[in-house]
């Protein structure tokens, strides 16, 4: 079964608006990561939040983690057209070989 599930599946906003994407997961985690994928390209790591952290910032990105609810959110502030991409959450369960389990992703479209 899928570990991470993003919500919404698709999000369409105007430049300058904030974009919020949510992720829910099912099992205990060591950390949760967010990745970005431009159409037809590989994934790029955005940010990692550890299970003992509640919030983390990186530039215009803000990630929260609620382990009691098994959920995380990614907020992109002051969005730009260049932020248009798919965003995935991925959970790391602490296996020795480093297996990341990905959600289905949120497709974000930012209109200029």
- Residues at the interface with other proteins (CB under 8 A): 2, 30-31, 33, 35, 39-45, 48, 86, 88, 90, 92, 96-105, 107
Rounded CA-CA distance 92/90 in Å is 7
User: Nearest distance from residue 11's CB to other proteins, in Å?
Assistant: 15
Element at 90 (helix H, strand E)? strand 85-92
Nearer to other proteins, 35 or 110 (CB): 35
Q: Which is nearer to other proteins, 100 or 110 (CB)?
A: 100
CB closer to other proteins, 78 vs 95: 95
Give the C-alpha separation, 66 to 97, whole Å. 25
- Residue that the structure tokens 């215009």 belong to: 60
The residue length of the chain stands at 112
Kindly state the smallest distance separating residue 12's Cβ from other proteins, in Å. 16
Q: Do residues 7 and 107 touch, judged by C-beta distance below 8 A?
A: no
Report in angstroms how near the CB of residue 78 gets to other proteins at its nearest. Answer: 25
């Amino acid at each position: 079964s899928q570990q991470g599930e993003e919500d919404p599946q698709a999000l369409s906003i105007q430049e300058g608006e904030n974009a919020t994407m949510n992720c829910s997961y099912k099992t205990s985690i060591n950390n949760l990561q967010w990745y970005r994928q431009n159409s037809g390209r590989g994934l790029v790591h955005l940010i990692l939040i550890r299970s003992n952290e509640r919030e983390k910032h990186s530039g215009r990105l803000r990630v929260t983690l609620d382990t009691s609810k098994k959920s995380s959110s990614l907020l992109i502030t002051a969005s730009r057209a260049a932020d248009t991409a798919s965003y995935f959450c991925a959970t790391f369960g602490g296996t020795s070989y480093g297996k990341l389990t990905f959600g289905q992703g949120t497709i974000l479209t930012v209109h200029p």
